[in-house]
Chains A and B, each alone.
Chain A
Amino acid sequence: MNNKYISWILFTLLLLLLLIAAALLSLTMGEASISLTDLVTLLKEKESMEYFILTQIRLPRIILAFSVGGALSLAGAILQGIFRNPLVEPYTLGISGGAALGVAISIVFGLQTSIGIFMLPVAGFTGAIITILTVGILGFLRGGTDINKMLLIGVMISFVASSAMMFLMSITTSDNLHGIIFWIMGSLDEPNKTLIQITLYSAIAGLLISYIFARPLNALILGQEKAAYLGINSKTTIRLLFIAASLLTGICVSVAGVIGFVGLVIPHLIRLITGSDYRFLLIGSFLGGGLFLILSDIVARSIISPNELPIGVITGIAGGILFIIVLNQNKNKKKHDI
């Protein structure tokens, strides 16, 4: 086994350890004071309020943070690979815009009051799917896979969706405004277990599926033509991966709202640390994204406790600053390539 594999394994173990530590830390943070040593004893007291808080409030939230962070970061890594563009993130393709528009329409027209509990996630997901289909169909038109065209269409859909949303916000009541604005900021407060399970399973499925394409993704870095010489069916690869990444993003956005920056910053950070080999990048991004969002959630919950900050505020500020620092430290070590 050469050094590369050993460093990958060590780094994975490190990420896993950090994940466990972050999860434990998150379990002990909150209004109810529960220390690490309490955790063990509390697990036996199934009737207590603390047990309820741990299992029904904190744990689901950690799982959701891990799934959403992992999935968004994974989607970012995949999309940056197939578009060969370092600025692409899950939201560049208009998926978040489409989802947000779906939610805004459902709030403004009061659909959620008539249909009920699942309406906002369903509306968000519908918006995301419509965007994906539009970008996909136009991009894959006439059997081609014009990735630059897809990228531009995605960006344009983002603009159209955000303008349409501003239009809706300008004609609606202040009550609805409140609902839309806070939805856009993103939140991990999701008491519905089914939605959390769906997110977790999709995130894991996304990782497994994309891992099958780790080698084709490596080849795609060279460009579609050269990948074809290496025996890669680049069209099929790009299409399948595009659909997988988009669906992951759509699910995350519809459950947790718009949580920016995870999908852009984390894959780049992992790349800077371990290089661009997708065989590791996919796993690293997944674990790193999950870790980052769990940590961000701890900050969001505790910084002005008992008040809570929107999670998107933390990911944007912390992610951006962290990235600039790491990028500057690395500038002499190796060229940041994609």
Chain B
Amino acid sequence: MSFLQKIISTIKNLHLSFNDLNSTKILVLIIILTSSLAVNAQNQRIVSLAPSLTKSIYYMGAADQIVGCTSFCNIAKNDKKEIVGSAVTINIEKVITLKPDLVVASAITNPETLDLIRRAGIETKVFITPANFEILCAQFQELGNLIGRSQKAASIINRTKIEVEKIKKSYKNKISQQIFFQLGARPIFTVLDNTFMSDYITFSGGENISSGLSKGTINREFVLMKNPDVIIIVNMGIVAEEEKKIWESYPHLNAVKNNKVFIIESDMASTPNPPDFLDTMKAIQKELQ
């Protein structure tokens, strides 16, 4: 993106046109321009080591700033980005030769790998899995600030928050439901408190049957005894359809009686960013109502 294009896009983000500029607005504009350009100048070239972060950067419209990503960054597949590694193994040499200003990673990346990249004089930033929706938004904003897209990030977050509030309100006068949110099978893995995914449950006016547990592996009997009204299965490298059939073979479960056992796309539900969070909330709402 050229310098001129950047100025124009910043102005667009401000919803201004050259005709209605007054002195205050010009001052604000200058401040924003200089600050955003200062960040931009630093972080023109980004390497993303996590599919979720690549996705966030795309949502902020900064796809062309990405010079390298992993082989699992599906969203970048058609853009012929340089591949610098897979989920766990990163080709450090390749990262360094791409001369990025910024390397972003999730907690799954080996800290030693990042340390080496840092020693090569490259700024790195790790985003750990957010503990709730608020932190998820804050991280999105932080990433936006780092790559010079603070405006865009802020507007996405605002829009999402408004929509999420609307969905939360739609559950307001309904009876609270016991929800089991399943992440994996063999062993069965459940969503725990203090994860952004537990907000899917609470925001949908539900209660997590696994609330209070500290470890995610549970057995079928636990689920049967808690007798959830709703079972939501996220496909994580296992057959969600198969799990659905197994639950449906348990006639005592309220969720089965209510016909409320359904599958949510993993790519959407387990990726921490505002647009995917909203889409997941919408998908759950569609099934619950």
* A residues neighboring B (CB under 8 Å): 30-32, 49, 52-53, 56-58, 107, 112-113, 116-117, 119, 169-180, 182-183, 187, 189, 191, 257, 301, 304, 306-310
For B108, the closest partner residue in chain A by CB is A174
Asked whether, in the complex, the Cβ of A116 is within 8 Å of the Cβ of B239, the reply is: yes
Asked whether, in the complex, the Cβ of B186 is within 8 Å of the Cβ of A187, the reply is: yes
> A112-B239, A173-B72, A179-B236 given as contacts; is B187 within 8 A of A53 (CB)?
no
Which residues of chain A are within 8 angstroms of B189 by Cβ–Cβ distance?
178
Q: For window 52-99 of chain B, which residues contact chain A by CB distance below 8 Å? A: 71-72, 86-89
What's the nearest-Cβ distance from chain B to residue A122, in Å?
Answer: 13
Partner of A116, one of B220, B236, B242: B242
> A56-B250, A307-B213 given as contacts; is B222 within 8 A of A173 (CB)?
no
Judged by a CB distance under 8 angstroms, whether B215 is at the interface is: yes
Asked whether, in the complex, the Cβ of A308 is within 8 Å of the Cβ of B236, the reply is: no
Which residues of chain B are within 8 angstroms of A57 by Cβ–Cβ distance?
220-221, 224
Asked whether, in the complex, the Cβ of B225 is within 8 Å of the Cβ of A31, the reply is: yes
Judged by a CB distance under 8 angstroms, whether B188 is at the interface is: yes
A179 to B66, CA, bound (A): 30
Asked whether, in the complex, the Cβ of A189 is within 8 Å of the Cβ of B215, the reply is: no
A29 to B215, CA, bound (A): 20
Asked whether, in the complex, the Cβ of A306 is within 8 Å of the Cβ of B222, the reply is: yes
Asked whether, in the complex, the Cβ of B71 is within 8 Å of the Cβ of A171, the reply is: yes
Which residues of chain B are within 8 angstroms of A169 by Cβ–Cβ distance?
88
> A116-B239, A310-B187 given as contacts; is B215 within 8 A of A191 (CB)?
no
Asked whether, in the complex, the Cβ of B213 is within 8 Å of the Cβ of A173, the reply is: no
Which residues of chain A are within 8 angstroms of B222 by Cβ–Cβ distance?
31, 306
A191 to B222, CA, bound (A): 15
Asked whether, in the complex, the Cβ of A49 is within 8 Å of the Cβ of B86, the reply is: no
Of all A-B residue pairs in the complex, the 7 with the closest CB atoms, nearest first, are A179-B237, A175-B237, A176-B237, A307-B215, A306-B222, A31-B221, A31-B225
Judged by a CB distance under 8 angstroms, whether B246 is at the interface is: yes
Judged by a CB distance under 8 angstroms, whether B122 is at the interface is: no
For B50, the closest partner residue in chain A by CB is A174
Which residues of chain A are within 8 angstroms of B219 by Cβ–Cβ distance?
30-31, 189, 301, 306, 308
Which residues of chain A are within 8 angstroms of B236 by Cβ–Cβ distance?
175, 178-179
Asked whether, in the complex, the Cβ of B187 is within 8 Å of the Cβ of A308, the reply is: yes
Judged by a CB distance under 8 angstroms, whether B266 is at the interface is: yes
Asked whether, in the complex, the Cβ of A178 is within 8 Å of the Cβ of B237, the reply is: yes
Judged by a CB distance under 8 angstroms, whether B38 is at the interface is: no
Which residues of chain B are within 8 angstroms of A170 by Cβ–Cβ distance?
86, 88-89
Could you show 19 A-B contacts with beta carbons less than 8 Å apart?
A49-B224, A58-B221, A116-B239, A116-B242, A170-B88, A173-B51, A174-B88, A175-B237, A177-B88, A178-B184, A178-B189, A178-B236, A179-B237, A179-B238, A189-B187, A189-B188, A307-B213, A307-B217, A309-B217
For A48, the closest partner residue in chain B by CB is B252
